[in-house]
Amino acid sequence: MVIGLGSMIGAGVFAAFAPAAAAAGAGLLLGLAVAAVVAFCNATASARLAALYPESGGTYVYGRRRLGDFFGYLAGWGFVVGKTASCAAMALTVGFYVDPGMARPIAVAAVAALTVLNYFGVHKSALATRLIVAVVLAVLVAVVIAGWAGDHPRAAHLSPITGQGAHGVLQAAGFLFFAFAGYARIATLGEEVRDPARTIPRAIPVALGITLVVYAALAVTVLAVLGAARAGATSSPLVAVAQATPWGWLVPVVRAGAALAALGSLLALLLGVSRTTFAMARDRHLPGVLDAVHPRYGVPHRAELAVGVIVIAVVLAADVRGAIGFSSVCVLGYYAIANASALTLDRDRGTKLIPALGLLGCLTVAVSLPPTSTIAGFAVLTAGALVWVGRRLAKRR
């Protein structure tokens, strides 16, 4: 449960509220509910599959076992590409909260520093995860209390931005899904927990429920203090909430908490993406040159360096909102394959309603994101599929 909270209550909440508010206005709360339902369906499907296949690799494994090599490969491709964009979004979040005027240089420095740390085998421990969760939760609670304490001005109303409607709610759900991303790390612990078929399905709804309550309290506070228009126009809405209250001392605390959460998430993401890249290179789904382990430090050093370089390139080219939208499309594609895999399970492993709802939700939310994000995401997934087909044809020759 703590690992699930650490994966969800992190930097995403500091970055995702602004684009979600711009898309849906007060419909942000409905978007949050939709994102939570989709996340629950995805995580539940992943938990069932993890209990059956207690192996590292997540949907990359489940897709291959249940749907065939192509879908496993496509899931892995979507994960690597989508989470690489997530790394860029987290790095930019660090930059915006530390110094908005120097956001990109700070983001590049953060990626470079953590890549070097990972190269020498430095990993985020479980203790560090607990400490980060505790600090971030304390900061978020302080923001909520400050937003409702005293007689400082609040937004006059919570009406949504004109003209967004249901599409805006679904688009907000896509952005907020980014803040929930990471919950399925619970499902990847099948090899490391006792009785995974019983433990993992219990941990997932508890972690999701706590996260949803925290996010809902924050969403109401952001809308009440700033209003939808101001919340959607700022790159750091929780700092804007602190600035709008008499608690001026809270502003640097929020900035520090956001930077800490983003750095923790970035470290975990870089580790996860580099390991998946290494695994796919070992299976020759990515260039074989990345299939190498450092003889001294025992880490996939080439994969780590390659991921670090690519993330820095994305940081220099993209903005936070674009990176979040693109990442969400790719990751929703990844979880669509997880739900499709769960649909092939026997009925005695649970009802098919949840994975069916999850599959529909993933596809609906993905196509509701901004057109640039949707087109880019599906173009990258299509490119991955074409590479797979081309390699298969080449092998037959």
pLDDT recorded at residue 348: 56
pLDDT recorded at residue 161: 45
CA–CA dist 85, 107 (Å, integer): 13
CA distance between the termini of the chain: 50
Condensed to tens digits (0 to 9), the pLDDT of residues 103-152 reads 999 999 999 998 888 777 655 445 666 777 788 889 999 999 988 886 66
Instruction: Count the Cβ atoms, other than its own, within 10 Å of residue 383.
Output: 12
Condensed to tens digits (0 to 9), the pLDDT of residues 349-391 reads 567 899 999 999 999 999 999 999 999 999 999 999 998 888 8
336 versus 122: the higher-pLDDT residue is 336
Most confident of 53-57, 104-108, 264-268: 104-108
Q: What is the pTM of this model?
A: 0.82
Helices 126-148 and 196-233 cross at an angle (nearest 10°) of 40
pLDDT recorded at residue 162: 44
pLDDT at 218 over 70: yes
Q: What is the CATH number of the domain that holds 124?
A: 1.20.1740.10
Domain that holds residue 124: 2-396
Q: List C-alpha distances in Å: 238 to 16, 178, 296.
A: 11, 17, 43
Locus of tokens 């290179």: 281
CA–CA dist 118, 107 (Å, integer): 16
DSSP state of 100: G
Q: How many domains does the chain have?
A: 1
Structure tokens that stand for 35 in this block:
């994102």
pLDDT interval class at 284 (50, 70, 90): confident
Among candidate residues 303, 294, 245, 243, the one with its CA nearest the CA of residue 273: 303
pLDDT at 186 over 60: yes
Residue 2's identity, in one-letter code, is V
Locus of tokens 């997934």: 381
